[in-house]
Homo-oligomer: A and B are copies of this chain.
Amino acid sequence: MTPSTVDQSAEKETARVEAFSDGVFSIAITLLILEIRVPRDLSAAGLGQALLHGWPSYISFLLSFAGVGIMWLNHHRLFTVIGRTNHTLLMLNGVLLLTVTVMPFPTSLIAAYLGTEGATMAVAVYVGWSVLIATVYHVLWHYAASPKRDPPLLHVSQDHPAVRAIFQQYRAGPLWYLGAFAASFWSTGLALGLCAAFAFYFALPPKPPRGERT
């Protein structure tokens, strides 16, 4: 095979991994709504009350929708510079998808326990799972971008602004979520608020480290 057909085949390979991952992301994000239960057999007044009391479901849905959406966005960004996969990357991507598909469970957990005695435990599980996800992203990216990979998995150089920007943005991810996890034992509202803020931050387009901006 000539170099160009090799490149084409490597590109087709990552395209199929991306397509499968996109499928999983889009299903996981759409299944979240199934966790919001419709209150049944109520009078008009009772229904109004029940809809208002559903706020933990709405908050958990919004938070997880934003979370999974941002994960899709970041997955996509990584694969913009990843041009080749190998067995380890495939396995790491599988672990990442596992953590994503699990999301409806902790989401449903906080929907069921926010505002009750069990809220701290539910939020700790939710934010703890987010620590795990941030860590898997961190590991996957550092594996893919490592200069030790031969042939390299990135199709751009280590010095490419897009690569440096991702390194910069991902630097503190797992530590931040670890902070939110610790906060969950003190204030569940603060912990979830931090998760929302992090989602906002990771939605931003990554920028190269400060000294290098033009």
Contact = CB atoms under 8 A, between A and B. Distances in A.
Contacts of A101: 29-30, 32-33, 65
Interface in A13-31: 16, 18-20, 22-31
B16 A22 contact: yes
Contacts of A43: 117-118
A204 interface: yes
A33 B104 contact: yes
Interface stretch (A87-95, A131-139, A140-148, A163-171): A87-95
Contacts of A204: 87
A115 interface: no
B109 A38 contact: yes
Contact of A25 (B20, B34, B118): B20
